[in-house]
Amino acid sequence: MALVLTNSNPDGTVDLLIALPEESIERIKRFNPFELVWSQLPVSRHTLKCIAVTFCPAEEQKRIEQLSTSGDPQWQERAFVMLTRGFQYMPAAGDHDLGYVELGKKATKTQ
């Protein structure tokens, strides 16, 4: 089961973190895509600012599920930190700060 976490930003936008378990990664390797229906999410009425996709090992998924029922109001923030702890800005590897590239065109810088 994939975890979908949201983070509200001060400007009213929402960041979305999709954490895929090993079985979802294996499905994707077989060209069976992971789907997320935006209108089914509680935050769908908000403007989306950023989407990040990461891996979530089974033991961390269990820990996040425990956090979600712990009564801790900061559980999603703690889960975000746990799942993105290895983040590194790597423009040479294609990080988004270089803008998007539409096939057949040059990169366009976006904010």
User: For residue 90, what pLDDT band results from cuts at 50, 70 and 90?
Assistant: low
Q: Find all residues with CB under 8 Å of 18, minimum gap 6, and list them.
A: 2, 3, 4, 34, 36, 51, 52, 53, 54
Least confident interval from 13-17, 38-42, 98-102? 98-102
Measured between alpha carbons, how far is residue 105 from residues 51, 90, 91, 94, 101 in Å?
23, 22, 19, 16, 7
- pLDDT per residue over 22-65, tens digit each? 999 999 999 999 988 888 888 888 888 888 899 999 999 999 99
User: Tell me, what's the pLDDT at 49?
Assistant: 87
pLDDT surpassing 90 at residue 2:
no
pLDDT surpassing 90 at residue 70:
yes
Q: What percent of the chain has pLDDT over 70?
A: 78
User: Tell me, what's the pLDDT at 50?
Assistant: 85
